[in-house]
Chain A
């Protein structure tokens, strides 16, 4: 695959052709994925996942929508995991349902039936893994939800503590708490929102917020100088 580099010699027609949309998309996405990964793995605090909600406008319904853009799941460290296991969070029926879904997703993705001896499928699906998966199907319309609010107000939202999450007016925050999260953060950028979640209690830090902003703005600095006519 041709390596498209964003330099000043990048021809304009690259960005105006719809045929190249998927190429641009995968370039942008691998870049975003790496940044999300770097953010999570390099952070001092223990974050469980990072999600980027992509902003778009739906002309048919005249609605501003935040939908799944990309995500990186890290999971809990071993100490948190063993504590969660003792809580006996999910029933056998629930685990069966989750494993079944995972099996189906696996065959959808790989295009073939999963072999019966696949260890990865027998492994228990943790609450936060499940929450991360379910997140892929979510969207926020016209400023709804925690991500929507952050985007709408152009200002970060930081929710610390299970009790704060439980009492949030936002479904997603309450949902996150049910699946073991104790901290949720939404940081908006020009074209979307970065959401971070953790099973630990993490207090607001402007350092992290700035890191995320730099991360996202780097992206738009490279892309922003070219008028993009293609609908990506």
Chain B
């Protein structure tokens, strides 16, 4: 009979008392790994990932699990470093969107200005469109 070892790997050292359906800004992935004996490290094991109120179960090898952890840790570190950056646009379902191009953005003043202007136009136009279809 296999001995199940539940290993909770928290990525961020603050409070682990977050409800799993919290849809707030602190996305704290927690991973639970069920392993068999140590010799089975290279065999795919079932991995359960709790992330922002969603649960994902898949089979990964230990190497893959550690890679996922490393990527997620890097992403968390980036978020903590740039609180005024673009992390407000990082969608919870798009954890695979953390490509190098998204993480290493630095905004020149003119890019920031362009963004603001485009945002203004987009929001205004959206508002106009919605108000046009619902006159109440």
A residues contacting B by CB (< 8 A) are 22, 25-26, 29, 33, 54, 56, 58, 67-71, 73, 90-91, 93-94, 96-98, 101-102, 104-106, 109, 118-120, 123, 129-130, 132-134, 136-141, 144-145, 171-172, 175, 178, 232
In chain B, residues 104-124, which have Cβ atoms closer than 8 Å to a Cβ of chain A?
A: 104-108, 110-111, 113-123
Q: Taking the complex as formed, is B23 at the interface, i.e. its CB lies under 8 A from any CB of chain A?
A: yes
19 contacts between A and B (CB under 8 A): A29-B117, A33-B121, A56-B108, A56-B111, A67-B107, A90-B93, A93-B21, A97-B23, A105-B123, A106-B123, A109-B116, A109-B123, A119-B136, A120-B131, A138-B101, A138-B102, A139-B104, A171-B101, A172-B101
Inter-chain CA distance A171–B53, complex, in Å, is: 25
B residues contacting A by CB (< 8 A) are 21, 23, 52-54, 85-86, 88-89, 91-94, 97, 99-102, 104-108, 110-111, 113-123, 125-127, 130-131, 134, 136
Number of A-B residue pairs at CB separation under 8 A: 114
Distance in Å from the Cβ of A197 to the closest Cβ of chain B?
15
Q: If A141-B101, A175-B94 touch, does A136 touch B121 (CB 8 Å cutoff)?
A: no
Which residues of the partner chain A approach B111 to less than 8 Å between Cβ atoms? 54, 56, 67-68, 139
Which residues of the partner chain B approach A93 to less than 8 Å between Cβ atoms? 21, 23, 52-54, 92
Which residues of the partner chain A approach B102 to less than 8 Å between Cβ atoms? 137-138, 171
Q: If A29-B114, A73-B125, A133-B122 touch, does A94 touch B104 (CB 8 Å cutoff)?
A: no
Which residues of the partner chain A approach B123 to less than 8 Å between Cβ atoms? 102, 105-106, 109, 120
Which residues of the partner chain B approach A67 to less than 8 Å between Cβ atoms? 105, 107-108, 111, 114
Which residues of the partner chain A approach B134 to less than 8 Å between Cβ atoms? 119
Distance in Å from the Cβ of A86 to the closest Cβ of chain B?
19
Q: Most chain-A Cβ atoms within 10 A of its Cβ — which of B54, B94, B118?
A: B118
Q: Is the CB of A73 within 8 A of B86?
A: no
Which residues of the partner chain A approach B116 to less than 8 Å between Cβ atoms? 109
